[in-house]
Structure 1
């Protein structure tokens, strides 16, 4: 049935289904314009706790998000120039990349961002992957709590691998970067390097041969952008020199012009 729906029909259907599912926002007035409907849908997805959803609704969500990915334009490795030694820089929305894995800057709860329409990468990845991603993260965290205790939170620099669902990438690697609260320390710098090294180790074990790194810890975690880029490139170079031929491509995904400049200077 959903194959024959248009994108606009899917959007209308999903807004109503997510409103009904939310209870609290059941009576919310739906905007008439497409942009308004998209904002409502994304917001309802953002605040939704991980729980079951009817298969027929998920099927429409999947069709809709696959369509949105195509509308935004899927970016493949062949579209991104290699600068040297399998390294690339790409500026833009990481949810467009068809790499084997994209890296998500997560928080220690590992459930994504619950702030409606927040522009952080965690929110974007969860939004365009679909609600299955939060559900999978929740299942993995519940298993870890059984093992380590009910107060378990994901430690810094320990990656978690999930499917990517409706994203063009095959997998998502979620990692918690170090938080700079007062000043930069050697310990924080080592933790950031470990984020890159441990992620590449996870790629190696899982036969993921291309990965796109976001600028881990540079946003609300307050790691200085230039130093973060230096550590990222140094760690990746070091790992690649020890694992020759293991990766087809490592992409530094940047959003800000400032970060693009730093990576271009380093690579």
Structure 2
């Protein structure tokens, strides 16, 4: 069995060999630097098949990183006093072991191409592996057009603890306040994600804070729409198999907003 150092070297040599302009890039010395370079190369790589031996090494590396981060199960997240089906958790969504996590995607649905970007789209694709972009590309080619705002698509989770990823495109807020249409489209994101979970018989789903980052939807209003829409959908669909909905937040401000809305305090 090869060491992680050797595994990273093989992966980096393989990805660096794919483009002639990478010939000047030297493989760094430390594990952290090698991991960062691997993630950056995965981020900018165009969708394409990967050789089975390289994919096996990638999966081994991402499994190790998943183990190091630690997997968070539903049992460790207390239910909301407002509604026992709802839960709140602050942290990296790629650690959650649920049936599906929701990705705030863009209309191309191929993930973030900015190396090491801090957005959730980048984090999810980086943790899932190169298979995810390839599968998203297949879906988009089959569809033949960009993904409309408010709609959703489902893919396997690959190297994530989650079995599935549901990708949705939230509205972009261009003015100081969201319009009625922006609010309707954001609610559509939550409804359509739940409908896909319902269709696939999933019992748990974790939502990120859709549209509140670079798409500039105000956090407080987005949180209200999220909680209200989820509760209404579950109330309107009593046969829906979803029994646990996690609102995953990263920022302290979002945590405070959802904590109040879900009656944790």
Equivalent residues of 1:22, 1:48 under 8 A apart: no
Q: Give unpaired runs (5+ residues) of structure 1.
A: 146-151
Matched residues, number:
258
User: Residue 165 of structure 2 corresponds to which residue in structure 1?
Assistant: 172
SS at 1:21 equivalent = coil
Alpha-carbon separation, structure 2, partners of 1:200 and 1:22: 40
SS at 2:247 equivalent = strand
Q: How big is the shift at 1:13?
A: 1.8
Alpha-carbon separation, structure 2, partners of 1:22 and 1:234: 48
Question: Does structure 1 residue 154 correspond to structure 2 residue 147?
Answer: yes
Alpha-carbon separation, structure 2, partners of 1:168 and 1:9: 25
User: Residue 221 of structure 1 corresponds to which residue in structure 2?
Assistant: 215
Q: 1:266 aligns with which of 232, 257, 261?
A: 261
User: Residue 250 of structure 2 corresponds to which residue in structure 1?
Assistant: 255
Alpha-carbon separation, structure 2, partners of 1:123 and 1:24: 23
TM superposition score normalised by structure 2: 0.95
Alpha-carbon separation, structure 2, partners of 1:158 and 1:91: 25
Equivalent residues of 1:106, 1:122 under 8 A apart: yes
Question: Does structure 1 residue 198 correspond to structure 2 residue 197?
Answer: no
SS at 1:24 equivalent = helix
* Per-residue CA distance 1:158-183 (angstroms, 9 max, x = gap): 10100111011000000000000113
User: Residue 22 of structure 1 corresponds to which residue in structure 2?
Assistant: 19
User: Residue 98 of structure 1 corresponds to which residue in structure 2?
Assistant: 97
Structure 1 range deviating more: 131-140 or 22-31: 22-31
User: Residue 33 of structure 2 corresponds to which residue in structure 1?
Assistant: 36
Alpha-carbon separation, structure 2, partners of 1:116 and 1:159: 25
Alpha-carbon separation, structure 2, partners of 1:28 and 1:124: 23
Q: Give unpaired runs (5+ residues) of structure 2.
A: none
* Per-residue CA distance 1:189-211 (angstroms, 9 max, x = gap): 01101110111011000011100
Q: How big is the shift at 1:26?
A: 2.8
User: Residue 129 of structure 1 corresponds to which residue in structure 2?
Assistant: 128
SS at 2:23 equivalent = coil
Equivalent residues of 1:22, 1:44 under 8 A apart: no
User: Residue 60 of structure 2 corresponds to which residue in structure 1?
Assistant: 63
RMSD: 1.1
Structure 1 range deviating more: 40-49 or 15-24: 15-24
Q: How big is the shift at 1:52?
A: 1.7
User: Residue 237 of structure 2 corresponds to which residue in structure 1?
Assistant: 243
* Per-residue CA distance 1:132-155 (angstroms, 9 max, x = gap): 10000000000011xxxxxx2100
Q: How big is the shift at 1:244?
A: 2.9
User: Residue 48 of structure 2 corresponds to which residue in structure 1?
Assistant: 51
SS at 1:85 equivalent = coil
Spell out structure 1 runs of 4+ moving beyond 3 A: none
